[in-house]
Structure 1
């Protein structure tokens, strides 16, 4: 489990295509400090398993399914990525419960700058719209955010200066893909209510 509070802006150091998968090497000095083989690290909201550690970087294998269903397949060497280690049970839950399981990919539609912040509008796959509500939680590229306004095919979020400076969301332009994870509680509630109908 993660919280959607990005710890570090890392960088893709190397991508090794392996047919139906890829091996990513990701530079992230903070998240590798206490990482071990087999540890989980969220990369742009995708939970990956550490298979190797070298200096300030870790390597993870990414299957075709993940490359096809997330924005990780669009990364290239030098791409910035949001990194987060899993939450410890003794830690504060600063964002919301995030699994690191991407539900879909949206695209940045528009950015409206404010004096010190921005409202960003993101496309929303139709099958996820029922889980996104005004003032609800959503994870965008691994960042826990509050939905400002939810529609049938889009939603908007407000980004504070820290989010703009310390995550990939300050750099994503219109048309660029972002990983989306809806609030898992909403999915469980839907399943339980549906079972009673």
Structure 2
């Protein structure tokens, strides 16, 4: 689990194509402190497992599933990436609960700079709009952000100077792709409430269900 508070901007050092997978090596400092083989590090919001550790760098293996469903499929040496170690029990939850499981890839649609912040509009793939509400949480490239306006097929966020300076969102431009993760609490609420949703018209009752005062019981 992560918090969506980026600890460090790392740099992609090497990408080795293995056909249906890649080996990704990232140069970093902060996220290597206390990190061992098998630990998890979020890279642009995608939870990866450390498979190798070196001096000032670490390596992870990305399977085809990850390449198909995240923006990491286009990663190249020299790219900057947002990094965060998995949260520990004694760490403040400064953002929100982030799993590092990307729900979809959005596109930066517009950027409106102002004196103190940038307003950025990002497209929403599929049906993720049902998880977003104004002032709710969304993870963009591993960064915990507050939704300014939730729309049917896009949403807006305001990026403060700290976010602009310390994450890749400061350099994302119109047309760039970003990894999105919806709030996991919204997903759980949806599933729980689904059990109480009215059955569709014409649906048959469960084969083992019956009225508590049926004729059989009365006998």
Tell whether the 8 Å contact from 1:149 to 1:155 is kept in structure 2 after alignment: yes
Tell whether the 8 Å contact from 1:126 to 1:152 is kept in structure 2 after alignment: no
| Matching residue of 2:192 | 192
- Root-mean-square deviation (CA, aligned residues, Å) is 0.6
| Matching residue of 1:77 | 77
Aligned residues: 197
* Gaps in structure 2 of 5+ consecutive residues: 198-219
| Matching residue of 2:26 | 26
| Matching residue of 2:105 | 105
Counterpart secondary structure, 1:65 = helix
| Matching residue of 1:96 | 96
| Matching residue of 1:67 | 67
Once the 2 structures are TM-superposed, how far is the Cα of residue 126 of structure 1 from its aligned partner? Answer: 3.1
Moved over 3 A (4+): none
Alignment of 1:32-51 (within 5 A): 32-51=32-51
- Give me the whole-angstrom Cα distance separating, in 2, the residues matched to 1:4 and 1:165: 15
Establish whether residue 132 from structure 1 lines up as the match of residue 118 from structure 2.
Answer: no
* Gaps in structure 1 of 5+ consecutive residues: none
TM-score between the two structures when normalised by the length of structure 1: 0.99
- Give me the whole-angstrom Cα distance separating, in 2, the residues matched to 1:88 and 1:7: 14
Establish whether residue 169 from structure 1 lines up as the match of residue 169 from structure 2.
Answer: yes
- Give me the whole-angstrom Cα distance separating, in 1, the residues matched to 2:152 and 2:172: 22
Deviations 1:141-162 (A, max 9, x none): 0000000001011000000001
Once the 2 structures are TM-superposed, how far is the Cα of residue 18 of structure 1 from its aligned partner? Answer: 0.6
TM-score between the two structures when normalised by the length of structure 2: 0.89
